[in-house]
């Protein structure tokens, strides 16, 4: 990676929008390039301060009194005729186009309810606390030390799936192991946590059987989520790789 490429990647990295592979390359460059290190440190610092101040500015900001009432009144008037086909025919063309845009947009986001927390953990793009450079054992040791008991790492039967590192996270009010994988440059998070009762399936998810084993699949905020359980451990896969591909990857994991 060149210094010039660091410039563009630095922002993306702040937003958690780089793949694990890119993140690793970025970090490697920063390790050996003092100039870029100073720049990205300054950048992060400026960015974090500005972002915090911007958020402060809207925290507790309330719309003028009366706006809500006005909106509710208008909705009541409008609601007299239930939304349906009648008003659509009367729409000007530009509005009709907007309808199409919104329709296609909402279809591209498959419905889901529960996976907010899971997707959140994935998109926060936290750094791994242990890297798998020295092999899987290092990750195993780390997890055992953190949780006080060993956790079986999934053994994917997919040579393109590379374990990058891990950290201890929290899901469903329980400790969870967050494993970070790289799959041809795409970032895949695998969360493992103890099964407690039956997995509730979000209404928007569907159930798929692969080789007789059930997988819950769905997507949330543009990320695909696949959940499955093995021996009282729930595994959740989150990534922006294609949904069918993610199911295939999840199914390749040997218990």
Partner 1 sequence: MFGFKRKPQRNRSEFETLTLEHMDALYGAALRLTRSPKDAEDLVQDTFLKAFRFFDSFEKGTNIKAWLFKIQTNTFINKYRRKVKEREVADTPAEDVVLDRFVSSEQVRALQDPEGDFFGKLLSDEVVEALDQVPVDFRMVVILADIQGFSYKEIAEIVGCPVGTVMSRLFRGRRILQKHLYEYAIQEGIISPEVDEAGDAIDLDSYRERRKKTA
In the region spanning residues 151 to 180, those forming contacts with partner 1, defined by CB under 8 A, are none
Query: Out of Zn ion, partner 1, none, which partner does residue 10 contact, by CB within 5 to 8 A per kind?
Result: partner 1
Q: How far is the CB of 3 from Zn ion (least distance, A)?
A: 3
Query: Out of Zn ion, partner 1, none, which partner does residue 254 contact, by CB within 5 to 8 A per kind?
Result: none
Q: Which of residues 57-76 bind partner 1 (CB under 8 A)?
A: 57-58, 61-64, 67-68, 70-72, 74-76
| Three-class SS of 150-212 | CCCCCEECCCCEEEEEEEEEEECCEEEEEEEEEECCEEEEEEEEECCCCCCCCCCCEEEEECC
Please pick, from the candidates 32, 55, 148, 232, the single residue that binds partner 1 as defined by CB under 8 A: 55
Q: Is 3 in the site for Zn ion (CB under 5 A)?
A: yes
Picking from 125, 121, 131, the residue whose alpha carbon sits closest to that of residue 162 is 131
Residues ≥6 apart with Cβ < 8 Å to 65: none
Class of residue 208 by CB neighbours under 10 A (exposed 0-12, middle 13-18, buried 19+) = middle
Q: Which of residues 81-110 bind partner 1 (CB under 8 A)?
A: 82-84, 87, 94, 98-99, 101-103, 105-110
Q: How many CB atoms lie within 10 A of CB 206?
A: 11
Q: Is 33 in the site for Zn ion (CB under 5 A)?
A: yes
Q: Which of residues 191-230 bind partner 1 (CB under 8 A)?
A: 202-206, 217-219, 221-222, 224
Query: Out of Zn ion, partner 1, none, which partner does residue 200 contact, by CB within 5 to 8 A per kind?
Result: none
Query: Out of Zn ion, partner 1, none, which partner does residue 147 contact, by CB within 5 to 8 A per kind?
Result: none
22 alpha carbon, distance to own chain's centre: 17
Closer residue to partner 1 in complex, CB, 9/163: 9
Q: What is the DSSP letter of 214?
A: E
Q: What is the dihedral of CA 241, 166, 177, 208, to 10 degrees?
A: 20
Residues touching partner 1, count (CB under 8 A): 73
Picking from 240, 224, 238, the residue whose alpha carbon sits closest to that of residue 186 is 240
- Cβ pair 151, 192 in contact under 8 A: yes
Closer residue to partner 1 in complex, CB, 105/149: 105
Q: Which of residues 108-127 bind partner 1 (CB under 8 A)?
A: 108-113, 123
């Amino acid at each position: 990676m060149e210094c010039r490429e660091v410039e563009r990647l630095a922002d993306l990295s702040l937003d958690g929008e780089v793949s694990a592979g890119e993140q690793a390359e970025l970090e490697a460059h920063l390790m050996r390039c003092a100039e870029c290190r100073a720049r990205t440190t300054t950048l992060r610092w400026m960015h974090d301060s500005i972002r915090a101040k911007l958020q402060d500015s809207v925290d507790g900001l309330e719309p003028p009194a009366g706006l809500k009432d006005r909106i509710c009144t208008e909705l009541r008037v409008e609601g007299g005729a239930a939304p349906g086909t009648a008003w659509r025919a009367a729409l000007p063309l530009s509005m009709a186009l907007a309808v199409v845009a919104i329709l296609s947009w909402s279809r591209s986001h498959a419905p889901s309810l529960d996976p907010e927390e899971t997707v959140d953990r994935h998109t926060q793009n936290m750094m791994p606390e242990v890297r798998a450079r020295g092999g899987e054992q290092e990750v195993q040791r780390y997890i055992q030390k953190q949780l006080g008991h060993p956790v079986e790492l999934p053994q994917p039967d997919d040579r393109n799936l590379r374990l990058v590192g891990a950290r201890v996270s929290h899901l469903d009010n329980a400790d969870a192991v967050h494993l970070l994988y790289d799959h041809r440059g795409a970032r895949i998070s695998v969360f493992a946590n103890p099964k407690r009762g039956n997995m509730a399936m979000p209404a928007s998810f569907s159930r798929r059987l692969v080789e007789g084993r059930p997988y819950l699949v769905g997507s949330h905020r543009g990320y695909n989520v696949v959940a499955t359980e093995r021996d009282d451990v729930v595994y959740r896969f989150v990534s922006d790789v294609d949904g069918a591909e993610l199911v295939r990857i999840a199914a390749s994991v040997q218990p």
